[in-house]
Amino acid sequence: MLELINVSKDYYDFEFELKNVSFNLDEGYIMGLIGPNGSGKTTIINLIMNVIKPTGGKIKIFGLDNTIENNVAIKDNIGFVFDKSIYPEKLNLDKLGYIYKNLYSNFDEKYFEELIKQLNIQKLKKLGEQSKGNQMKCQIALALSHNAKLILMDEPASGLDPIVRRELMKILLEYRERTNAGILFSTHLTEDLENISDYITFLDNGKLVFSKSIEEMRDEYKILKCTIEQSKSLNESDFFGFEKNEYYFKGLFGNKNILIPEDAIVENASIQDIMYYLNRK
């Protein structure tokens, strides 16, 4: 449903280039897009949204090339949340709902009203007079209001308190259940992804580190913890990344053939562990 094939973006500012990124997202799956600050997450979402043009490669959405000619057909089926609200501040959700109703072929007024209730937002209050978190909730209600088959969200959970974040994850799961949509969202809040994502796509400095299912990721990455004494039998180059002090050693590895010291602890790596240790290579 969404295919990125060797996508590159050069801003020609010498600092950053998105290089040959390829991954797929099928309908019915949730993918978390993760990576350190400046790794290219927003660039990818902007490329898919056609806000910026790739310098190389191809993006296909619903089997169509992501070109201006196909823009209307594609956008009708995309629900989006940008990291900053793009709507005029003097509008409110009531007016935006009306605009969406006229813009999208599958606007669902009843569900839109339900989301407004569920997210506890005010329909008549101007966006500019709402808190940052509530502005984000407004974007979320709009993104999910028109039965889009692809949902793209750039940091939708930033600025939301932990209770609302949990509610958002529940809403995304319900939305997937109702519509069988594919959902791609970027986040720094990796714990949100542990429970709901099927795939993780990890970027670092414009390069794709991996795009894997959660199961593959859990199989591949493990954490080893042991005392510094026990760690003497380890070969540090077997680890993707590690940290140690005079007492303990903790590292991320993927090679199942390493000799595990007796009494060392081996556990599944969390998404945060993977990001942290791959970044310490």
Ligand X SMILES: Nc1ncnc2c1ncn2[C@@H]1O[C@H](COP(=O)(O)OP(=O)(O)OP(=O)(O)O)[C@@H](O)[C@H]1O
Q: Under the rule (CB under 6 A), what is the footprint of ligand X?
A: 11, 13, 15-16, 35, 37-43
Contact 153, 41 (CB under 8 A): no
Using the minimum distance from each CB to ligand X, give the nearer residue, 119 or 275: 275
Q: List the helix and strand counts (H, then E) for the chain.
A: 9, 14
Q: How far is the CB of 133 from ligand X (least distance, A)?
A: 17
Alpha-carbon gap, residue 155 to 41, rounded angstroms: 9
Number of residues written out for the chain = 281
Contact between 182 and 29 (Cβ < 8 Å): yes
The nearer residue to ligand X, 38 or 133, going by C-beta atoms, is: 38
Q: How far is the CB of 39 from ligand X (least distance, A)?
A: 4
Closest distance between ligand X and the C-beta of residue 188, in Å?
6
Measured CA angle at 273 (ends 261, 158), to 5 deg: 170
CB of 44 or CB of 234, closer to ligand X? 44
Nearest to 193 by CA among 271, 92, 76, 246: 271
In the complex, least distance from residue 76 CB atom to ligand X, rounded to whole angstroms: 26
Q: What CA–CA distance (Å, rounded) separates 48 from 59?
A: 7
Residue type, 162: P
Nearer to ligand X, 145 or 201 (CB): 201
Please answer whether residues 61 and 48 qualify as being in contact, where contact means their C-beta atoms are separated by less than 8 angstroms: yes
Least Å distance, CB 224 to ligand X, is: 29
Q: Toward ligand X, which CB reaches closer, 43 or 130?
A: 43
Q: Which is nearer to ligand X, 66 or 187 (CB)?
A: 187
Whose CA is closest to 222, among 262, 194, 243, 252? 252
Strands 248-253 and 239-244: antiparallel
Nearest to 59 by CA among 11, 28, 21, 31: 21
Between the two ends of the chain, the Cα-to-Cα distance in Å is 34
Nearer to ligand X among residue 59 and residue 121 (C-beta): 59
Instruction: Output the smallest distance, CB 190 to ligand X, in A.
Output: 12
Min CB(159)–ligand X separation in Å: 13
